[in-house]
Structure 1
Amino acid sequence: MPHILIVEDETIIRSALRRLLERNQYQVSEAGSVQEAQERFSIPSFDLIVSDLRLPGAPGTELIKLGQGKPVLIMTSYASLRSAVDSMKMGAVDYIAKPFDHDEMLQAVSRILRDRQNLQSTAVDRPASKPGNTDKNTVDNSNAEIGIIGSCPPMLDMYSKIRKVAPTDSNVLVQGESGTGKELVARALHNLSKRAKAPMISVNCAAIPESLIESELFGHEKGAFTGASAGRAGLVEAADGGTLFLDEIGELPLEAQARLLRVLQEGEIRRVGSVQSQKVDVRLIAATHRDLKNLAKVGQFREDLYYRLHVIALKLPALRERGADVNDIARAFLARQSARIGRTDLKFAPDAERAISQYSWPGNVRELENAVERAVILCESPEISADLLGIDIELSDLQDDFIGLAPQQSISSGNTSLDPTEDLSLEDYFQHFVLEHQDHMTETELARKLGVSRKCLWERRQRLGIPRRKTGVASEN
C-alpha cells in the first residue's frame, strides 16, 4: 500500500485530504510544516509527498531536496502559479491548484505513483534483457521504459515509432478513441526525450471554460480583464524547457488556436493584456479523438494549425483491436488494485477471462480499469467472477459464439427451426437459444453459454418478454 506524506499547515485541508486518500486505500501520515515532518518522519521513506507551497518556516519546495528523489506534488493557489512553475523547475513532479477537485487530486496521485512504479520496473527489467534472447519476457522488458502494457503488432509498431520520435523536438499528434491511453503515449515521448528532466504540463482543453482557456494557457497581466487583480503565468510558460501536452485539442476555441499557432511558428507567447512577447521553448504533443482534418474543412479547426500539429501522427488502436493485450492489461490492473488493498489471492475466474476478451470495451482501457477496480472491491472470494466486472456483453459480440455452440445443428423452438448462418437478427439468436435450452439448463449455465452475466440474461428476458421456465431444471440457490 503506497505511503503518502501530507505537509499542510491548514488543519481542515490536511484532515480532508487525509480522509480522501485513506478512503482510496493509501496509507497517510501528516505534518503541519517542513520542520515537523523532519522531526517526526524519515522523509525519503515515503512513496509520495504532497505539500503546500507556502508553509510556516521553510517552503514546501524544501521537501524536494529532503525527499532524496521521492516525488513531491506541490499544492498552490491560482494566484501563485508563477511560484508553482518555479517549484517544478526545482524538481517538483507536478503541482495542483487549490481549491482542488477530489477526482483531480486522486488522478494526480495515481498517475505520479504509477509513473514511479514504471520507472522502478524499468530499472529492474533492463539487466534481464540479453542480446539474442527473443522470448516473450525479453520483448516485454524491452518495452518497459515506455510504460505501456501490450505486445500486439499495432502496439509494437507504436513503440518503435515512439523511440524514433521521442529524441526529436517535432510536434506530435496522438489520435485514438477516448480512454485508449493517449496521455501514456505523451508521457513516454517526454520521458524518452532530452527534456525528461524538465516539466511535462498536461492540459485537458475540454475541461477549461472557453472564457478562461486563453488566460490559462498563455497567462494574463494585471487588469487584463475583470477580476485579474494580479499578473499570472500561463501553462505554456510553465512548460518552458519541457513538454506541453494538450489533450482534446479539437475542443480548443479558434482564438486560442491562433495564439497556439504563434507559439509553434515563432516560439513565443504574449500574455492576455500584454503588448510584450516572450520566448518559450516547448515541445508540443497534442491528442484528440476527433478528425481534425474534417474539422478544418468545415472551419471548426485552423487548417494551418492542423498541418503544424500533424508533423508526426501516432494512432492508438482501440482496446477491442488489441487481441490478447486486453487480458494482459486486466491482469496488470488486478495486480495493482490487489496490492492497494493488501490482497494477494485474487485472480480472474474462467468466465471473467472470457468476458474480458469478448466484451467490446467501448470505454477502452479506462473502462477496463474501472471494471477491475470495482470487481476487486466487491470480491469476497479468491476468484473474480464475470458478474463482478459489471459489464454487459452485447449480442453483437456473441454471434460467433451462438454459431459455435452448434456448428452442424439448427437452433429450434417449438415448430420453428433456425440455422444460425441464416440472416437473422441477433435478438432472434438470443431468444431462440434461450427457448431451446432453458428446459435443461440452469440460468447460470445459460448465461455462461451466452457469455453474459445472469443479470444481463434476466434483463434481456424482461425486454424480449421471455418468461423463465419453472420446471424441468434443477433449482439454483
Structure 2
Amino acid sequence: MPHILIVEDETIIRSALRRLLERNQYQISEAGSVQEARENFSVADFDLVISDLRLPGAPGTEMIQLAQGKPVLIMTSYASLRSAVDSMKMGAVDYIAKPFDHDEMLQAVAHILREHQHKARNQTPEKLAENPATAARDDNGEIGIIGSSAGMQALYGKIRKVAPTSSNVLIQGESGTGKELVARALHNLSKRSRAPLISVNCAAIPESLIESELFGHEKGSFTGASAGRAGLVEAADGGTLFLDEIGELPLEAQARLLRVLQDGEIRRVGAVQSQRVDVRLIAATHRDLKNLAKTGQFREDLYYRLHVISLQLPALRERGADVMEIAQAFLARQSAVMERPELRFSALAEQAIRLYSWPGNVRELENAIERSVILCEGTEISADLLGIDIALDDLDEPQDPPAEKSPAAGNSDPAEDLSLEDYFQHFVLEHQEHMTETELARKLGISRKCLWERRQRLGIPRRKTGATSS
C-alpha cells in the first residue's frame, strides 16, 4: 500500500484529502508545515508527498529537497500558473489547482505513483541519486501562460485534463491569442514530453511544397529532389505534431493527413511503401472549420477527426485584468534585454493598455511594448510611445476631486449637504447639457468608464441633446 505524506496547514482541506485517499487504499500521514514534516517524519521514506505551496514558515517547495527524489505533488490555490511552473522547475512532478475535484486528485496521484514505479524499474539507483530532481520532473515538462481571468482558469483546467491523453486537439481562437503556447503546454504535460514537438505553420509553406514538407519525398520524385528526405510528420514520430493555421492546408494534403490519423501511416511523395508513425496531432486555427467543411473548403471527415477535443482561447479584450499582467511581464522581459530595468508605464499608458481593444491580441501587445521600450528616452513609458490606435485625449490625467462650493459663494444647494452618490448625480444632471462625457469625467476626477458605470448603477440617463460626446 503506497504511503503518502500530506503537508497542508488548513485542517479542513488536510482532513478531507486524508479521507479521500484512505478510502482509495492509500496509507496517509500528515503535517501542518514543512518544519512539522521535517521533525516528525523521514520524508524520503514516503512514496509520494502532497504539499500546499503556501505554508507557514517555509514554502511547500522545500519538500522537494527533503523528499530526496521521491515525487512531490504541489497544491496551489493561486490563479496564475507561474507558481506551478516554478515548482516544476525546482523538481515537483506536477501541480494541482485548488479547489480540485476528487477524480482529478485520484487520477493525478495514481499517475504519479505509476510513473515513479516505472522509472525506478528502468533506472539504476546511481542514476536516480545523480539528479533526483530532474528524474522526478522529466515526465511533465513546463507550462507557461500568464493570466488569471476566469476564462483562462477554465482553459488551464482543460489543459490539465486533456494533456495526459492521446486525443487529437483543436485549438481555436483569434490570431495572436497564444495558440502555440497552449499546444506547447499540452505537449509538455503529456507522456510524450521527452519526444519532439514539431510545430508547422501551414499558411507559411507554399502549396506546391506542403506535401513534401509534411510527408517527405523520395529521391527523384519531382524536379529538384536530389535526395530522399523525411517529412515533418515523420520527424514528430513518438511525439506531437502541431499544425497551426490548419484551415490553410490544401485539400490533397488534408487527405494525406486524414490517413495518418486513421491508419497511423504515412507515404512519402514518390514512395510505394507506407510506414508506421505514432503521432499526436494538435491543430490550431482562427477560422471556422465547421463552416469551411460545409462549403467544401475543408474535409468534413478530417474536421471530425480533429474535433475530438476543442479548446477555445479568449481574445485579449475578453480577459480583463490579464492585459496589465501580461504587459508588465513583457515590459520586464524587454527591459532586461535592453538593460533598462528602471522603465515603467505612466498612468496614461496603463489606461491606454487597459482600454484599447487589442485586435491583434497578445502578439500586438508584445510588439507595442517592444517598440515603446526601444523608443523611450526617459524612465517612464508614455501612452503615445505604445503606437496604438486610441484617442489619447480620451485618457484621463489623475486629478483631485472637484472642490466643493462654499455657502458664502451663494450656492443654494451646497455640496457639503450631499452624500458622494448624491453629489455625483447632482453634478452630472446639472452639467451634462453643456459638457462632454470626457469633460464630466475630468471634472469629477474619474475615468469615462467609471462615469458610465456609475450612470448605470444610479440610473442616470445620458442626455439626448446638447454637447457631442467626445
TM class, shorter-length: 0.5 to 0.7
- 8 Å CA contact 2:85–2:143 kept in 1: the answer is no
Aligned mates of 1:330, 1:356 — CA distance in 2: 8
1:148 equivalent among 126, 135, 145: 145
Aligned mates of 2:271, 2:97 — CA distance in 1: 56
1:227 equivalent among 218, 224, 228: 224
1:247 equivalent among 244, 264, 277: 244
Structure 1 window deviating more from structure 2 (217-226 vs 258-267): it is: 217-226
Q: Which amino acid aligns with 1:123?
A: K
In the alignment, structure 1 residue 355 sits paired with structure 2 residue 321: no
**What are the superposed Cα offsets for residues 290-346 of structure 1, whole Å, 9 maximum, x if unpaired?**
000000000000000000000000000000000000000000000111111112211
The equivalent of 1:312 in structure 2 is 309
The residue matched to 1:146 in structure 2 has which SS? coil
Superposed displacement of residue 359, structure 1: 0.3
- 8 Å CA contact 1:242–1:283 kept in 2: the answer is yes
- TM-score (structure 1 length as normaliser): 0.57
Aligned mates of 1:394, 1:292 — CA distance in 2: 36
The equivalent of 1:55 in structure 2 is none
Mark the structure with the bigger radius of gyration.
2
| Root-mean-square deviation over aligned CA pairs | 3.7
**What are the superposed Cα offsets for residues 341-373 of structure 1, whole Å, 9 maximum, x if unpaired?**
112211111111111000000000000000111
* 1:322-361 mapped onto 2 (5 Å cutoff): 322-361=319-358
The residue matched to 1:230 in structure 2 has which SS? coil
**What are the superposed Cα offsets for residues 245-281 of structure 1, whole Å, 9 maximum, x if unpaired?**
0000000000000000000000010001111000000
**What are the superposed Cα offsets for residues 400-428 of structure 1, whole Å, 9 maximum, x if unpaired?**
xxx9x9576325389xxx9x966989x95
The equivalent of 1:365 in structure 2 is 362
Aligned mates of 2:97, 2:261 — CA distance in 1: 41
* 1:196-207 mapped onto 2 (5 Å cutoff): 196-207=193-204
- 8 Å CA contact 1:201–1:244 kept in 2: the answer is yes
* 1:422-437 mapped onto 2 (5 Å cutoff): 428-430=468-470
Superposed displacement of residue 158, structure 1: 0.3
Cα gap change, 1:215 to 1:118, in 2 (>3 Å): farther
The residue matched to 2:469 in structure 1 has which SS? helix
- 8 Å CA contact 2:218–2:271 kept in 1: the answer is yes
In the alignment, structure 1 residue 412 sits paired with structure 2 residue 452: no
The equivalent of 1:167 in structure 2 is 164
Aligned mates of 1:281, 1:337 — CA distance in 2: 39
Aligned mates of 2:242, 2:300 — CA distance in 1: 20
Aligned mates of 1:130, 1:263 — CA distance in 2: 34
**What are the superposed Cα offsets for residues 435-473 of structure 1, whole Å, 9 maximum, x if unpaired?**
xxxxxxxxxxxxxxxxxxxxxxxxxxxxxxxxxxxxxxx
Aligned mates of 1:271, 1:343 — CA distance in 2: 51
Superposed displacement of residue 374, structure 1: 0.7
Aligned mates of 1:423, 1:218 — CA distance in 2: 64
The equivalent of 2:190 in structure 1 is 193
Aligned mates of 2:168, 2:279 — CA distance in 1: 10
- 8 Å CA contact 1:360–1:393 kept in 2: the answer is no
The equivalent of 1:392 in structure 2 is 389
- 8 Å CA contact 1:118–1:144 kept in 2: the answer is no
Cα gap change, 1:125 to 1:422, in 2 (>3 Å): farther
Which runs of 5 or more residues in structure 1 are unaligned? 1-116, 135-142, 431-477
The equivalent of 2:269 in structure 1 is 272
Aligned mates of 2:295, 2:429 — CA distance in 1: 49
Superposed displacement of residue 239, structure 1: 0.4
Superposed displacement of residue 182, structure 1: 0.1
Aligned mates of 1:358, 1:120 — CA distance in 2: 31
Aligned mates of 2:335, 2:355 — CA distance in 1: 23
* 1:19-168 mapped onto 2 (5 Å cutoff): 122-124=88-90, 145-168=142-165
Aligned mates of 1:349, 1:144 — CA distance in 2: 37
The equivalent of 1:454 in structure 2 is none
Superposed displacement of residue 385, structure 1: 1.1
- 8 Å CA contact 1:125–1:144 kept in 2: the answer is no
The residue matched to 2:230 in structure 1 has which SS? coil
Aligned mates of 2:302, 2:84 — CA distance in 1: 34
Report how many aligned residue pairs link the two structures: 300
The equivalent of 2:293 in structure 1 is 296
Q: Which amino acid aligns with 1:410?
A: Q
The residue matched to 1:284 in structure 2 has which SS? strand
Superposed displacement of residue 383, structure 1: 1.3
The residue matched to 1:184 in structure 2 has which SS? helix
Superposed displacement of residue 132, structure 1: 8.0
Aligned mates of 2:98, 2:150 — CA distance in 1: 20
The residue matched to 1:300 in structure 2 has which SS? coil
- TM-score (structure 2 length as normaliser): 0.58
Aligned mates of 2:389, 2:371 — CA distance in 1: 14
Aligned mates of 1:406, 1:370 — CA distance in 2: 39
The residue matched to 1:198 in structure 2 has which SS? coil
- 8 Å CA contact 2:433–2:463 kept in 1: the answer is no
Cα gap change, 1:353 to 1:255, in 2 (>3 Å): same
Aligned mates of 1:323, 1:263 — CA distance in 2: 40
Cα gap change, 1:223 to 1:299, in 2 (>3 Å): same
